[in-house]
Amino acid sequence: MHPWNQPILDSLARRLERLPHALLVHGPRGVGKLAFAERAAQLLLCEGANRPCGACDGCRWFLGGNHPDFRRIEPEVLWKEPARDADDEAPARRAAAKQPSLVIKVEQVRELADFLYVRSHRGRLRVALVHPAEDMNENAANALLKGLEEPPAGAVFILVSHRPAQLLPTIRSRCVAIPVPIPSREVALAWLSSQGLKDAERWLAYAGGAPLLAQQSAAKGIAELAPVDSRDGLEPLAEALQKTAIDRALRAFGLPPKYQTAGGAVPPARAREWLAFARQMGQDRLLCRHPLNPRLFSAAMLAAMPKDR
């Protein structure tokens, strides 16, 4: 877990005896929400005196990825390893689809029933982590809602969300929210420097202050403003275009750029046009995960980009 989130975990640890059955860990991308949620799950499953101790059977199993009282629900595209069939011969679910799913399916949520409604292997809690919760399709969200409305004894749900507003209001209302904010600039820069990141200030600015995004952006580089041929390249392109547009609009207003994208002076008369394009790219980012033609969609985004003339 990342050091800036330790105070939040400490606060959670002090409330272990009166924790609710569902937590909603939310905040912007790149602040370590998933790592925090995993640490919280370990805290709940730890069998030691000082939790999480890292030494008990519960901690060792959790850290080894095979705790019998923990389940993690994610879209197939985020699976670290292919799921295998009962005979452990082949990656059954991945092989069945040409491309891994971008959403959490209802079947994945229904499988939780066999886990949550039986007795714990260790006689303690059972923990289900859903990440990212807004990626549940409609049927999956409704299936999870039933579990939240009538939670089985000893079960704890941990939902991780980048965009909690996209969740059903009835799901949000049945969870206790745990916000994970962006750390201070000083803390973020200190951590990035400890990771050996060069030009940390520039990458942190491009990431909007989120240190993990800054680290990822530095590793991948800023998307080239050119058409892409794969679905995976659409959202990075839309993000780069949106941040470029915001910086161009700020320059037009005589203000310093926020994301440190390249570019010179911008005529003041172009400010509104750049702001409109930035809003459009925000909408297009939400469409990038749909089954679109990447080449045509990326070309259309680029063609809509204002020209400073």
Tens-digit pLDDT profile for residues 158-178: 999 999 999 999 999 999 999
Percent of residues, the chain, with pLDDT higher than 70 = 92
Q: Quick check: bond before 132 cis, omega within 30?
A: yes
Q: What angle do CA 81, 83, 89 make, to 5 degrees?
A: 105
Percent of residues, the chain, with pLDDT higher than 90 = 64
Tell me: the pLDDT tens digits for 254-300?
999 999 887 788 999 999 999 999 999 999 988 887 767 899 999 99
Nearby residues of 100 by Cβ (< 8 Å), 6 or more positions away: 75, 76, 77, 79, 94
Highest mean pLDDT among 49-53, 126-130, 153-157: 126-130
Domain with CATH 3.40.50.300 in the chain: 3-179
pLDDT > 50? residue 69: yes
Rounded CA-CA distance 60/54 in Å is: 6
Residue 147 Rama label (left phi>0; alpha psi -120 to 50; beta): alpha
Which pLDDT value is given to residue 91? Answer: 43
CATH architecture of 3-179: 3-Layer(aba) Sandwich (3.40)
Which pLDDT value is given to residue 201? Answer: 94
Mean pLDDT of the chain: 88
**Identity (one letter) of the amino acid at 146?**
K
User: What does DSSP say about strands 70-73 and 22-26: parallel, antiparallel, or unpaired?
Assistant: unpaired
Which pLDDT value is given to residue 152? Answer: 85
Burial 26-45, CB ≥16 within 10 A → b, else e: bbbebbbbbebbbbbbbbbb
Which pLDDT value is given to residue 123? Answer: 67
- Provide the token pair at 253: 């207003």
3-state helix, strand, coil in the chain (%, to 5): 50, 10, 40
pTM of the model: 0.85
- Provide the token pair at 249: 């609009």
Span 84-102, mean pLDDT?
Answer: 52
